[in-house]
Chains A and B, each alone.
Chain A
């Protein structure tokens, strides 16, 4: 124990400063006694067994190692001192370049944070958050670094349970709604025969509300999925023109009153999640139809701009006021023009679409004028490499 704490202080020429930095880091304030009491600091670092705390030189060579780190990674202090911190990363991330990049950022900005897998001595992985603080008096020139690693396995377990809960709950709720929807449809068929207006209106409203409930649940499931799969897009190489054609066909068959035409063809293939990008297009197109009750033309364009593909969907419908345009991608947000015209919706379509585009490292934006229509754009890197 003692040797560990001593070695923690080893790389320091100005101990006072070092412990001040760490105690600030650990949110203990600037109290004089904390800053100067080296024993207190040693006890503190040693008592934080839930945290792996170690220091390195400016190249990443490990110079100190606390008990928490020993517990987390399985290396004893003797084994690890002098080794490079990159051995605690997965081979995939472990190239020195990646670590050097992080250290550079830490030196520049004072600290660097990330969440990623770390590797133990026995080769097993665990999910952890990492904080890197630079040690040095000057900007950009670090004498060394302090690493604080916290095991987040439990947190991700919780996230997993939450996602599983949402998806099970949605599925369980869907089952009774399925039968409700069927009964309502059967009743509707029979009620229409009676020609009783009140009954017919009531049952048709009941049906509409059930559809709304279903839609809402689909979106909730989507959101749960999006959060879970944020980094797990199923990317393939695909033909964008084919995807646009495949997306347009079912939509046109449902809304024969709207004329949707495509402008521009991209010869190059795209690397991305075909299904998800199709979902973005579907969301934009169904919005374009929904919010242009008095206009029937909708244009889909695609073109290459530098390394990106830009796809747009233009309608000549209600439009969105300037003041609301920045909020339109928010969860459950609905434009006043949509509400004033009594167009039903939940306000999740654009949110989901934007999340998908962001996951592709792309951008989504719009141009719109009230009563003239809206154009929604999204761009994604043609080769969406990580």
Chain B
């Protein structure tokens, strides 16, 4: 009995964090990064944050998240350009990218850069969660 119980409890313990989907949030504004992290954690996601535009590609290859939330105006690199680069990268191009920006031309930026989806700032929590779920579900 003891022998059976232990692996079960271990697997039960492991099961929850294993099913948590990981999201990489690339955002240079610390308050937005913090609040997005909080809301995603509340929604049972595991969150990775990145504030440096130049490190996003490496971070993506290393963490292989379920979704990338990418701010368009990052210091050091333009979000649209990063998106184009990621979509050419064999390792990570399957990962859905959702662009975030306060810019009104977001639709055009998203179309040009090959992003999977976009959301304008400021956004409604439910809109963001829906977009994330939809993109994980329809992942190519």
Question: Could you tell me which A residues sit within 8 Å of B by CB distance?
Answer: 171, 174-179, 181-183, 185-186, 189, 210, 214, 221
Contact of B34 with A179 in the complex, beta carbons under 8 Å: yes
Answer yes or no: B121 CB below 8 A from chain A CBs. Answer: yes
Minimum distance in angstroms from B41 CB to a CB of chain A: 10
The closest CB in chain A to the CB of B35 belongs to A182
Contact of B124 with A174 in the complex, beta carbons under 8 Å: no
Q: Which residues of B115-137 have CB atoms within 8 Å of chain A's CB atoms? A: 121-125
Assembled-state Cα–Cα distance A52/B103 (Å): 42
Number of A-B contacts (CB under 8 A): 48
Q: A185-B124, A186-B35, A186-B125 are in contact. Are A178 and B102 (CB under 8 A)?
A: yes
- Chain A contact surface mostly: helix
Residues of B with C-beta under 8 A to A181: 122-123
Q: Mark B8-49, 1 if CB is under 8 A from A, else 0.
A: 000000000000000000000101101110110010000000
Q: Which of B102, B103, B104, B125 contacts A182 (CB 8 A)?
A: B125
Residues of A with C-beta under 8 A to B102: 171, 174-175, 178
Residues of A with C-beta under 8 A to B35: 179, 182-183, 186
Assembled-state Cα–Cα distance A124/B124 (Å): 50
Contact of B125 with A189 in the complex, beta carbons under 8 Å: yes
Minimum distance in angstroms from A312 CB to a CB of chain B: 27
Minimum distance in angstroms from A355 CB to a CB of chain B: 16
Residues of A with C-beta under 8 A to B124: 185
Contact of B121 with A178 in the complex, beta carbons under 8 Å: yes
Assembled-state Cα–Cα distance A182/B128 (Å): 11
Q: A178-B121, A179-B29, A214-B122 are in contact. Are A186 and B42 (CB under 8 A)?
A: yes
Residues of A with C-beta under 8 A to B123: 178, 181-182
Residues of A with C-beta under 8 A to B121: 174-175, 178
Contact of B39 with A186 in the complex, beta carbons under 8 Å: yes
Assembled-state Cα–Cα distance A340/B124 (Å): 30
- Interface size classification for chain B: 10 to 19
Minimum distance in angstroms from A185 CB to a CB of chain B: 5
Assembled-state Cα–Cα distance A135/B104 (Å): 51
Assembled-state Cα–Cα distance A29/B17 (Å): 86
Residues of A with C-beta under 8 A to B36: 182
Q: Mark B67-101, 1 if CB is under 8 A from A, else 0.
A: 00000000000000000000000000000000000
Q: Which of A171, A182, A186 contacts B32 (CB 8 A)?
A: A182
Assembled-state Cα–Cα distance A176/B103 (Å): 15
Contact of B39 with A179 in the complex, beta carbons under 8 Å: no
Name 29 interchain pairs, CB-CB below 8 A, sorted by A.
A171-B102, A171-B103, A174-B121, A175-B31, A175-B121, A176-B31, A177-B122, A178-B32, A178-B121, A178-B122, A179-B29, A179-B32, A179-B34, A182-B35, A182-B36, A182-B39, A182-B123, A182-B125, A183-B38, A185-B39, A185-B124, A185-B125, A186-B35, A186-B42, A186-B125, A189-B42, A210-B122, A214-B122, A221-B104
The closest CB in chain B to the CB of A172 belongs to B102
Contact of A179 with B104 in the complex, beta carbons under 8 Å: no
The closest CB in chain B to the CB of A184 belongs to B35
Residues of A with C-beta under 8 A to B104: 221
Assembled-state Cα–Cα distance A235/B131 (Å): 32
Assembled-state Cα–Cα distance A186/B38 (Å): 8
Residues of A with C-beta under 8 A to B31: 175-176, 179
Residues of B with C-beta under 8 A to A177: 122
The closest CB in chain B to the CB of A188 belongs to B125
5 shortest interchain CB distances as A-B pairs: A182-B35, A179-B31, A178-B122, A181-B122, A174-B102
Assembled-state Cα–Cα distance A210/B125 (Å): 14
Minimum distance in angstroms from B33 CB to a CB of chain A: 9
Minimum distance in angstroms from A177 CB to a CB of chain B: 6
Contact of B122 with A174 in the complex, beta carbons under 8 Å: yes
Minimum distance in angstroms from B137 CB to a CB of chain A: 20
Assembled-state Cα–Cα distance A214/B102 (Å): 11
Residues of B with C-beta under 8 A to A210: 122
